[in-house]
Amino acid sequence: MSTNPASLLELEHVSRHFDGRAVLNDISLTIPPGMITCLLGQSGCGKSTLLRIISGVDRPDPGGRILIDGTEVVGPGRFVEPEDRQIGFMFQDYALFPHLSVADNLTFGLRHLPRAARRERVGDVAERIGIEHLLDRYPHSLSGGEQQRVALARALAPQPAILLMDEPFSNLDQGLREKVRRETVETLRRMGTTAIIVTHDPQEALAVGDLIVLMRDGRIEQAGSPIDIYDCPCSVYAAEFMGPCNRLTGIWTEGRIETPIGTFPANLDLPDGTLALACIRPQALSIGPDGQGISARVIDKTFTGESEQIGIMIHPLAQPLRMHSHVRIPMAVGEKVSLQLNGAQVHVFSEQPLADKLDTDS
pLDDT in tens, 329-342: 788 899 999 998 88
What is the distance of C-alpha 128 from the center of its chain? 26
Q: In the prediction, which pLDDT does 344 show?
A: 75
Q: How far is CA 331 from CA 146, 209, 269, 294, in A?
A: 46, 38, 41, 16
Q: In the prediction, which pLDDT does 102 show?
A: 96
Q: In the prediction, which pLDDT does 93 show?
A: 85
Query: Half-sphere exposure of 345 toward its Cβ, with a 13 Å CA cutoff?
Result: 18
Q: In the prediction, which pLDDT does 345 show?
A: 84
Query: Half-sphere exposure of 5 toward its Cβ, with a 13 Å CA cutoff?
Result: 5
Domains and CATH numbers, the chain: 9-232 (3.40.50.300), 242-361 (2.40.50.140)
Q: In the prediction, which pLDDT does 5 show?
A: 60
Q: In the prediction, which pLDDT does 362 show?
A: 37
- The pTM of this model reads 0.89
Q: In the prediction, which pLDDT does 2 show?
A: 47
Q: In the prediction, which pLDDT does 357 show?
A: 47
pLDDT in tens, 272-281: 999 999 999 9
Q: In the prediction, which pLDDT does 275 show?
A: 93
Q: For the chain, which residues score pLDDT lower than 50?
A: 1-2, 353-355, 357-358, 360-362
